[in-house]
Amino acid sequence: MSQRARWRQVEVKVDAIDLGQEIDPDFYDFYFVGGGQDKQQIVIAEDLRKKEKQIKEAIGNGAVILSVCGGYQLLGHYYKPHEGPELKGISLVDAYTVAGNRRMIGNVLVKRDDATTLVGFENHSGKTFLGKGVSALGKAIVGNGNNGEDKLEGLAQGTVYGTYLHGSLLPKNPGFADQLLSQALARRYGPQHLQPLDDHFENQAHKRAMTLPA
Q: Could you give the angle at which helices 174-189 and 200-210 cross, rounded to 10 degrees?
A: 130
**Which residue of the set 69, 77, 124, 206 is catalytic?**
69
**Which residue of the set 82, 166, 193, 200 is catalytic?**
166
Question: Is residue 3 within 8 Å of residue 181, measured between CB atoms?
Answer: no
Q: For residue 98, which of 150, 136, 49, 146 has the smallest C-alpha distance?
A: 146
Query: What does the alpha-carbon distance between residue 175 and residue 42 come to, in Å, rounded to a whole number?
Result: 33
From first CA to last CA, the distance across the chain in angstroms is 27
Q: How far is CA 76 from the centre of its chain?
A: 12
Strands 95-111 vs 78-80: parallel, antiparallel or unpaired? parallel
Q: How many CB atoms lie within 10 A of CB 74?
A: 26
DSSP H or E segment with residue 113: none
Q: Could you give the angle at which helices 38-50 and 52-60 cross, rounded to 10 degrees?
A: 70
Q: Specify whether 69 is catalytic.
A: yes
- The catalytic residues are 69, 166
